Amino acid sequence: MNRRIVLGCAMFLFTATPFFAQDTSSVVDAIVKEVNENSNLEALGHELMDDIGPRLVGTPQMQQAHDWAVKKFNAWGISAENQEYGTWKAWERGITHVDMVYPRVQSLSATQLAWSPSTSKKGVTAELVTLPNVNNEEEFKKWLPSVKGKFVMIARNEATGRPDDNWKEYATPASFEKMKQERTEQIQAWNENMKNMGHNKRSLIEALENAGAAGIVDSYWSKGFGVNKIFGAGTKKIPTVDIELEHYGMLYRMVEHGDKPQLNIVARSKDLGVAPTYNTVAEIKGSEKPEEYVILSAHFDSWDGGTGATDNGTGVMVMMEAMRVLKKLNPNPKRTIIAGLWGSEEQGLNGSSAFAEDHPEIVNNIQAVFNQDNGTGRVVRINGQGFLHSYDFLSRWLSAVPNDIRKEIETTFPGRPSSGGSDHSSFVTRGAPAFMLSSLSWDYWNYTWHTNRDTYDKIVFDDVRSNAILVAIMAYMASEDEQSVSKERIVLPIDQNTGKPQEWPTPRTAERKGGM
């Protein structure tokens, strides 16, 4: 998921509005009881994160996850299918093993980046070098041939391996400020040197590969103990690995002190050509207004440094559990309820954008989309996304949610429309009422978002159960509402640059041939 900021004035919901049939409270009570006493969440989490593992688009594991979800839905009596929307570079991760072999021997904590080319079984052994400090692009070009046959470190050495909250708790104020100033100066110097080289990170990697480097060594620290963010490689022929901060810093100092460390990198992977990409779409058909839709939304794919537990395994688990419960307790809803488990969100909302492009008949008749994507925490914020009357219908539906869940939720009405960040945006930008169920942090941004530590053990099941109850009740209320919601949009504020009202965000176009 991509980070965003929720804008607008906050309001809190305390009151209930009687609107639905008299059996609403009994259905709600049954939903709460079912999730609390017969939850499938722990089993879903184990099977998805531990057994299948990370779900990088284009990998066999992504396909395995799609097939697993269809079987699960079918076992609950819910029709489901994998809808193909494009293709992606097909690749499978293998063993990564990185050792320092000179001037001493030490195994290092490292991960091959996604889609990286493979080494041989014996790996590649080479000396490690850092980037030069140069005054201009010409100096960099003169240095560039020296990388032939060497591993090149392309990340700066961090000023500290301690997160800021640790410094704030233990350091003197003067020491903390000194560290931050030194770090700021280091970042500025690094950026200035990159500018002098005439490259950004992507073009730098291409230049190093073309110059004959043996491999690329990166380190993307996530500003917490033991966490690095793991994304994709930018190389086509040579391996790229991420080395965790502690070992990367050690190696950087060794190079700077003239120790000439050598690494052996074994980074095995398989280039599998091209693979189809899918969305898994499950459906409980509506009985009275089947042409109107409530969509439960979560992206299925993940980066693969960890196992994609909080980004977005927990969102997937919530939507699947809500569908299971709804099918059991309200098998003939008034409106059609769809669960969309989207592919390739991490590369730009591709799965949900493709679904919206391919199914205008659904998008044009959406009652509500409920999307969950930012971690294991209980839902604490809902933004009206710029729909003028969102307060009316969202507060009506929220009124049925038990107070111990509802009281935690801060709402923003009418809010501002999201142009990106997660899959609800694929619908908002097309004028459909879609809402992000934003979660309590649990240090998500530093410790699990796209990191090597996003694993099953970080799931907080009490919060996930709360979210499953919330989604099931909201979906039930939206599906059974006598009214179809208003899609009227607010007039956005004046753009200070043009003097005219800001425009509603435009939809993204799905990438249907990715990674090649």
**Is 214 within 8 Å of 153 (Cβ atoms)?**
no
Sign of the dihedral through C-alpha 21, 32, 373, 437: positive
CA angle (15 as vertex; 12, 19 as ends), nearest 5 = 125
List, for residues 358-399, the tens digit of each pLDDT value: 999 999 999 999 999 999 999 999 999 999 999 999 999 999
* CA 222 – CA 148 distance, rounded (Å): 30
Chain-centre distance for alpha carbon 248? 25
pLDDT at 20: 53
Burial label, 499 (beta-carbon count in 10 A; 0-12, 13-18, 19+): exposed
Residue found by looking up tokens 């009881």 in the block:
33
Percent of the chain scoring above 70 in pLDDT: 96
pLDDT at 170: 98
CA angle (79 as vertex; 82, 456 as ends), nearest 5 = 65
Give the residue-averaged pLDDT of 118-138.
Answer: 98
List, for residues 250-309, the tens digit of each pLDDT value: 999 999 999 999 999 999 999 999 999 999 999 999 999 999 999 999 999 999 999 999
Query: Which element (helix H / strand E) includes 463?
Result: helix 461-480
**Is 329 within 8 Å of 30 (Cβ atoms)?**
yes
**Is 507 within 8 Å of 426 (Cβ atoms)?**
yes
**Is 267 within 8 Å of 119 (Cβ atoms)?**
yes
Among left, alpha and beta (phi > 0; psi -120 to 50; other), residue 41 is alpha
* CA 401 – CA 320 distance, rounded (Å): 19
pLDDT at 23: 82
* CA 436 – CA 434 distance, rounded (Å): 7
List, for residues 35-84, the tens digit of each pLDDT value: 999 999 999 999 999 999 999 999 999 999 999 999 999 999 999 999 99
Say if residue 200 is preceded by a cis peptide, omega within 30 of 0: no
Give the residue-averaged pLDDT of 230-234.
Answer: 97
Between 153 and 9, where is the model more confident? 153
29 CB-near residues (< 8 Å, 6+ apart): none
